[in-house]
Amino acid sequence: MTLDTTPVQRKRLDLRDTLQAAPLGAFHFRLAILLALILWYDGFDLYNASYIVHDVAPAWHLSPSQIGLLLSCGLGGFAIGSAVSGLFGDRFGRRRVILPGVWISSVMSLAIALFAHDLDSFVALRIVMGIALGLLMPMCVTYINEIAPKRSNNVFTIGFFSLGWIGGATSSGFIAAWLMPRFGWQSMYYTGALAMVLAVALQFVLPESVAFLGSRNRQDDVRAQLARFWPARAAEFRDAELVVPAPTVKAGSFRALFAARFRRQTLCFWAMGALSLFSSYGLSGWLPTILLKRGENLSSSFAYGSLLVFASAFGSLLSGFMADRIGNRRLAMSIAWLLGASAIAMLAVMTGGQLFWVIAMAGMFVIGTQTVLNNLVAVSYPTEIRSTGVGVFFGIARFGAMCGPAISGVLQQATGGPGAMFVVLGGALVTAAALVFLVERPENLPDAPAFGH
């Protein structure tokens, strides 16, 4: 009698196809909630500068152009942090970039509350804080897109982005309206420093992205995570050979963003992101101050500022739903940006009770469309350079965001009112609406890296 020594053939499973086919389960939602909490603080910290202007401008004797600098300096730091975050994320992992970002941003928020006593000290501390915040959004957008099932990619990713970042940005206005009259502007930064509690929790509960683990051939770690994403197939994953598509580019390669198959995408993404955020931050940064000058009281001007960001959540979900429904992100984004430009034009002339609906419309389509663009960028690059592509995109886009409040301040100072500002902000969105059609649909790219439409 002889023993059969023929090796058992292990079942081969494609990691990317398996992740995309997995039903939404508890582990998906747990990770998405963790990422949403990170983004909540990110949104809160980025927008709170708009509300402290009321307190610090007279105390520090700031001109409109100096107010623009105060509003923009954090965005400049954010741009730097975003640009480097992707390079680190593709080389060392998503988790190893997210954790330092949360720690450093929360510590710097505390430092601003304690040590910022004039414009110079505020700008210096805020830039460092912005660099740390810049590490977070690209990594969170990359991470959540890597775990999102194909059939609900837009709704799932945009839903948790809205719960997190837009929720934090919206809350900043309401929190400012309650805290600042009682405890001063520093209370906003003490609130941001509470993210240190979240940082401690993340050290223990945030795993590395399964897509990144797969790209490093860490099979045992990938099997363990897949079993948590799809418990019904845990036994199958334990014995399977998990196949990851062979890398077509060097991990974390900046040069790869300009390879023939990605060059036009990359340049168009950068331009659209800069134009979109130029309008978003120019409008959101100055809206409370403009409304105060038009005669609104402090509470209502802050509430309108929060409404602008809050409405963006509905715009994001609507644009994402339409993109999934019609199978064309580009068309959905173009229509939304044109509606946003129309809302900006109406803001230039409307007052009184009409403001509520016009500001809500502006929030939905000026700010809200950005999240669909974020997802389009994330699914247009392969895993090896995904966080690099997303990170550099956010970095370039944040330079547009930084210019928005600064140029808006210069335009108002030069013309004596906000009219020219509204024209320029609306024109930027019209340009972005045209550029989106120069971008290829992800599935049409050579060696399509991801699903999407």
Residue 346, Cβ density class (10 Å: 0-12 exposed, 13-18 middle, ≥19 buried): middle
User: Above 60 in pLDDT, residue 447?
Assistant: no
Q: Which residues of 122-155 are buried (b: 16+ CB within 10 A; e: fewer)?
A: bbebbbbbbbbbbbbbbbbbbbbbbbbbeeebbb
Is 47 part of any domain?
Answer: yes
For residue 453, the SS3 value is coil
* Pairwise CA distance, residues 24 & 156, whole Å: 9
Mean pLDDT of the 153-173 span: 80
Please report, to the nearest 10 degrees, the dihedral formed by the alpha carbons of residues 32, 38, 44, 49 taken in order. Answer: -140
In a domain, 3, yes or no: no
- Distance in angstroms (rounded) separating the CA atoms of residues 132 and 122: 15
With a CB cutoff of 8 Å and minimum separation 6, the contacts of 6 are none
Q: Is the pLDDT of residue 449 over 70?
A: no
Position 353 in a domain: yes
* Structural domain for 17, as ranges: 12-441
| pTM of the predicted model as reported, rounded to 2 decimal places | 0.75
Residue 256 lies in a domain: yes
Task: Give the model confidence (pLDDT) of 332-360 as tens digits.
Answer: 889 999 999 999 999 887 766 678 888 88
Position 247 scores a pLDDT of 59
SS3 417: coil
Give the residue, 361 or 351, on which the prediction is more confident.
361
The percentage of the chain sitting over the pLDDT mark of 90, rounded to a whole number, equals 28
| Tally of structural domains, the chain | 1
Residue 368 lies in a domain: yes
pLDDT tens-digit map of 221-264: 888 888 888 888 888 888 777 776 665 556 557 788 888 888 88
Residue type, 71: L
Q: What is the CATH number for 405? A: 1.20.1250.20
pLDDT of residue 187: 95
Q: Between 152 and 183, name the one with better pLDDT.
A: 183
- Is 446 within the bounds of a domain? no
The pLDDT value given to residue 371? 82
Mean pLDDT of all residues in 265-281: 92
Residue 98 has pLDDT above 70, yes or no: yes
Does residue 5 sit within a domain?
no
Q: Which helix (H) or strand (E) holds 243?
A: strand 241-243
Q: How many CA atoms lie within 13 A of 450 on its CB side?
A: 26
Quick one: average pLDDT of 140-151? 82
Across the chain, mean pLDDT equals 83
Q: Helical H runs in 135-251?
A: 136-147, 153-161, 167-183, 186-193, 195-205, 210-215, 219-229, 234-239
Radius of gyration of the chain (CA): 22
CB 316 within 8 A of CB 162: yes
Mean pLDDT of 26-40: 92
Residue 294's pLDDT band, with cuts at 50, 70 and 90, is confident
Q: Is the pLDDT of residue 191 over 50?
A: yes
* Residue 161 in this model has a pLDDT that exceeds 90: no
What per-residue confidence (pLDDT) applies to 1? 44
The residues near 417 (Cβ < 8 Å, ≥ 6 apart) are none
Q: CA 287, CA 304: separation in Å to the nearest integer?
A: 8
CA distance 340 to 364: 8
| Percentage of the residues of the chain whose pLDDT score is greater than 70 | 91
Is the pLDDT at 448 greater than 60? The verdict is no
- Which of 32-41, 309-318, 365-374 tops mean pLDDT? 32-41
Q: Phi and psi at residue 13, in whole multiples of 5°? A: -125, 135
Q: What is the pLDDT of residue 445?
A: 53
Query: Number of C-alpha atoms within 13 angstroms, CB side, residue 137?
Result: 37
Q: What are phi and psi of 253, to 5 degrees?
A: -80, 115
Please check whether residue 362 lies inside any domain of the structure.
yes
